[in-house]
Structure 1
């Protein structure tokens, strides 16, 4: 079987496009991580990977399968290094930002896989692209992708693309301090902080979109120096977008509502909590991180975070989520020492699931 597949690999650079398409069609099933023959794509100094990158530039029918193959193969470290190619990265950016490209979502999927590798994330943060009329006034690739993620909702920008997987790209790049700094700094081209464009999607019905945004938000909470801006209603204002997914249909007492963000004071009777336990845990871990400083804890108390968490705790059935709920309660209800301020090390020792600031679980 392996010998036959090796023969097929030679046809990936055949001069006849029909032959290339037929060969790729037969090889596609062996690109998955569970395939025992996935390593055949590494032979001849990664020639098959080079061929697949070239096919991505062809007719969408065959390019679709090439992208699908690379999405699967990108789980391998050696292959991913081969995809750390400036020309190929620029191709993906152009395909994502062009409103007439059919395979924009496939390019988003591949970019979400390869930006899990720090070298590629770092390069992506620095990349430039030609200004795209009708999309963004910036020439920075990441600015353009944030804008297309927002403007492309419901296939408004490109009828063939939804751009949900860009949320995973943003989650990946915020594993880096430089990525967090980007999302928490006001952009010069539109005077808007990029994170503030994303947080409105923490309750989006698509789990890829909202999951990536929630992970990006949690990663940004590691930037302690930005906590006041993140909590300020006149600046980034993340708190309503963390609390809303944690709220159900329960009503709050008038005393509890005093000081609460207006967005969560009067919720409809059919309000649903985030159904995914991992995402509820991630949102709660964001709150834990925001309790790192005394000022952060004071703001969370003033904003009546505790009543929201208390109501959630009454109906929470997942053990891991309940543990983080209790940690939030402990941080908010604790007595403050006279000189106590930053307590990040205590938080991490009490909650090892927070990990460190360069790890994230894929959604």
Structure 2
């Protein structure tokens, strides 16, 4: 005989909307402590919940909450069936990029959980319809790449939109970036690559949130920077370096990848690229952790040599303008 709880799970695919709503509402409380009931019949209830995220708003809200609880556990089977389902992932991406969806906050939280799966690296390849992120950014450049759209949502203040639920924030998207950048070199490379559609380096879109009011956002961004700074520094610094020699002490402080470069090593010739790289390094000095990493990595001698060897007013101006506004001596010690 099935238990009352097992019978309740069966109502998730009932044809009557009110019955589905009641079942979903009552099951929320069991999803954190009794996950096994949702794995019956070869994960049949989870399949039902995937469909319910597209149901009426109250039902979708409860379905998302249940899936968040289930995916928060260490159950690899649940994570796999959610994260590797292309159709379901597209559904979530369309929901979170819909400025009028009242469950956007919950959807972004579920995406954060799913980003623990290696399969979410495909956010770099998935393309979505290009649509205005919000009324305030309708004229802004748009990218069809899913990860670009998530980044733009993250940095846009769509909470202020009168058509959007005040709770439909995108703070949890910072954990998507943190999880993905920790696991995938392709994501770390993406964060450093100027995007053609808006001419911006993605990393610069998130560094500014290290002092944001939202603790969730600050933690996610801090984790992303922690995951990326040491790993991305070689990509930032190598193009700034030529075949110059440094003292033994300076060389020892540098990252291994930057030591003993070949005699024919050429510095990046394009001024625009050099400017972008220096600007990105300066952004990394925003949080104290970033300054500490740069200092330990022997960045100063490389920047000093760059300004000695590159006769580019454009590059020099970036440093000069930043230096003129710097009040924190710690930043001056790095640069």
Matched, 1:147 2:152: yes
Deviations 1:191-239 (A, max 9, x none): 1111111111111010111211122122221123323389999325355
Partner of 2:59: 62
Matched, 1:200 2:208: yes
Partner of 1:74: 71
Where in structure 2 are the equivalents of 1:49-128 lying within 5 Å? 49-75=46-72, 76-83=75-82, 84-119=84-119, 121-128=120-127
Q: Using the alignment, how far apart are the partners of 2:162 and 2:150 within structure 1?
A: 12
How many angstroms does 1:10 deviate by?
A: 0.7
Partner of 1:308: 330
Q: Report the TM-score, using the length of structure 1 for normalisation.
A: 0.66
Matched, 1:228 2:237: yes
Which segments of 5 or more consecutive residues in structure 1 lack a partner in the other structure? Answer: 247-282, 310-328, 333-363
Partner of 1:129: 128
RMSD (Å), alpha carbons: 3.2
Q: Alignment partner of 1:131: what SS?
A: coil
Partner of 2:266: none
Q: Is the 8 A contact 1:167 1:212 kept in 2?
A: yes
Change (3 A) 1:53 1:228: same
Q: Alignment partner of 1:138: what SS?
A: coil
Which segments of 5 or more consecutive residues in structure 2 lack a partner in the other structure? Answer: 133-137, 241-272, 306-322
How many angstroms does 1:152 deviate by?
A: 3.0
Q: Which protein is richer in helix relative to its size?
A: 2
Q: Is the 8 A contact 2:115 2:179 kept in 1?
A: yes
Partner of 1:346: none
Q: Alignment partner of 1:223: what SS?
A: helix
Change (3 A) 1:228 1:125: same
Q: Using the alignment, how far apart are the partners of 2:61 and 2:287 within structure 1?
A: 35
Q: Using the alignment, how far apart are the partners of 2:162 and 2:302 within structure 1?
A: 38
Q: Is the 8 A contact 2:109 2:173 kept in 1?
A: yes
Q: Using the alignment, how far apart are the partners of 2:116 and 2:21 within structure 1?
A: 29
How many angstroms does 1:92 deviate by?
A: 0.9
Partner of 2:26: 26
Partner of 1:213: 221
Partner of 1:260: none
Q: Is the 8 A contact 1:56 1:63 kept in 2?
A: yes
How many angstroms does 1:162 deviate by?
A: 2.0
Matched, 1:166 2:188: no
Q: Alignment partner of 1:23: what SS?
A: helix
Number of aligned residue pairs = 269
Q: Alignment partner of 1:159: what SS?
A: coil
Change (3 A) 1:164 1:55: same
Q: Using the alignment, how far apart are the partners of 2:61 and 2:91 within structure 1?
A: 14
Partner of 1:177: 185
Q: Using the alignment, how far apart are the partners of 1:104 and 1:306 within structure 2?
A: 38
Q: Report the TM-score, using the length of structure 2 for normalisation.
A: 0.71
How many angstroms does 1:17 deviate by?
A: 1.1
